[in-house]
């Protein structure tokens, strides 16, 4: 079984407060449909971040590395639910509209919580985030009794960006940088984007999507490239940067 997880960050969802799905959601759905058509043993799932309860990062890591724990235990929210789905997935596609020349705010908020993927594992029921605990964790990591790993290392990533103004390139580049930092493998032409303009009606935008042969080919290209890369790399163990912590 090959598992694909799509994470849609547009707040515009049909039946919620919008007449139709957002463009990036349409593109993401088209990508998932292509994956299922091309693969008999593929499972696909789409999560809408705007329907999830996700709190902002408290920046525990910036105070002291070991105050951030795997998986983030600062809040009883939906982050851990999505994180576990990501860990189970082989391919992960992030989809975002372009707002204020950048990615959707809920996606940025979600990505900032990723820092806990590289943090030391501490059972939630005993966590204190005290300085004494932090120094104990530093010692345990220094002598090798506790290891921090990155469960996203080696996963295959894809990017979908939509918008009607400038900024799509900023969104694609920033997401690519974050995925690469967390150890994702990116296939050739790992992102697709669609650009309209602010004076277009929603109907024109939707019609343009289904009539845009280049975009439809790009969707298929990305789907097949991700699938091929997953089959080539699934099960491989990738080298990881060592965790070097020193007690001051």
Q: What confidence category does residue 177 fall into, taking pLDDT thresholds of 50, 70 and 90? A: very high
Tens digit of each residue's pLDDT (9 = 90 or more) over 40-56: 999 999 999 999 999 99
Residue 168 lies in a domain: yes
Residue 215 lies in a domain: yes
Q: What is the mean pLDDT of the chain?
A: 88
Whether residue 127 is predicted with pLDDT greater than 90 in this model: the reply is no
Cα gap 147→80, rounded to integer Å = 20
CA 111 from chain centre, in angstroms, equals: 7
Confirm if 22 and 107 have CB atoms less than 8 A apart. no
Residue 244 lies in a domain: no
Q: For position 153, which CATH number holds?
A: 3.40.50.360
* Structural domain that includes position 135: 2-233
Residue 44 lies in a domain: yes
Residue 245 lies in a domain: no
Residue 239 lies in a domain: no
* Cβ-based neighbour number of residue 227 at 10 Å: 21
Whether residue 192 is predicted with pLDDT greater than 60 in this model: the reply is yes
Tens digit of each residue's pLDDT (9 = 90 or more) over 154-175: 999 999 998 766 788 889 999 9
Tens digit of each residue's pLDDT (9 = 90 or more) over 60-107: 998 888 999 998 989 999 999 999 999 999 999 999 998 888 999 999
pLDDT of residue 64: 87
Q: What percent of the chain has pLDDT over 70?
A: 88
Residue 191 lies in a domain: yes
Residue 131 lies in a domain: yes
Beta bridge partners of 95: 8, 160
Total tally of structural domains belonging to the chain: 1
Cα gap 201→187, rounded to integer Å = 33
- CA angle (184 as vertex; 182, 185 as ends), nearest 5: 150
Cα gap 52→47, rounded to integer Å = 8
**Of 20-24, 80-84, 123-127, which gets the smallest average pLDDT?**
20-24
């Amino acid at each position: 079984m090959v598992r694909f997880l799509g994470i849609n960050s547009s707040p515009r969802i049909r039946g919620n407060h919008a007449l139709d799905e957002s463009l990036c959601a349409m593109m993401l759905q088209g990508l998932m449909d292509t994956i299922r058509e091309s693969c008999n043993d593929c499972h696909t799932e789409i999560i809408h971040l705007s329907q999830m309860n996700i709190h902002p990062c408290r920046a525990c890591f910036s105070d002291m590395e070991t105050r951030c724990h795997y998986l983030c235990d600062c809040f009883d929210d939906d982050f851990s639910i999505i994180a576990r789905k990501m860990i189970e997935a082989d391919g992960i596609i992030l989809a975002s509209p372009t707002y204020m020349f950048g990615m959707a705010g809920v996606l940025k908020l979600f990505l900032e919580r990723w820092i806990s993927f590289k943090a030391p594992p501490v059972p939630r029921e005993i966590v204190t985030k005290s300085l004494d605990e932090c120094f104990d964790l530093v010692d345990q990591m220094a002598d090798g009794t506790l290891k921090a790993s990155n469960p996203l290392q080696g996963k295959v990533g894809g990017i979908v960006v939509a918008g009607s103004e400038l900024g799509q390139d900023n969104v694609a580049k920033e997401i690519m940088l974050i995925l690469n930092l967390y150890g994702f493998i990116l296939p050739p032409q790992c992102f697709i984007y669609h650009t309209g303009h602010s004076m277009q009606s929603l109907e024109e935008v939707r019609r343009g999507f289904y009539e845009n042969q280049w975009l439809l080919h790009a969707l298929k290209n990305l789907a097949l490239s991700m699938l091929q890369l997953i089959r080539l790399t699934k099960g491989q163990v990738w080298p990881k940067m060592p965790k070097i912590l020193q007690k001051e």
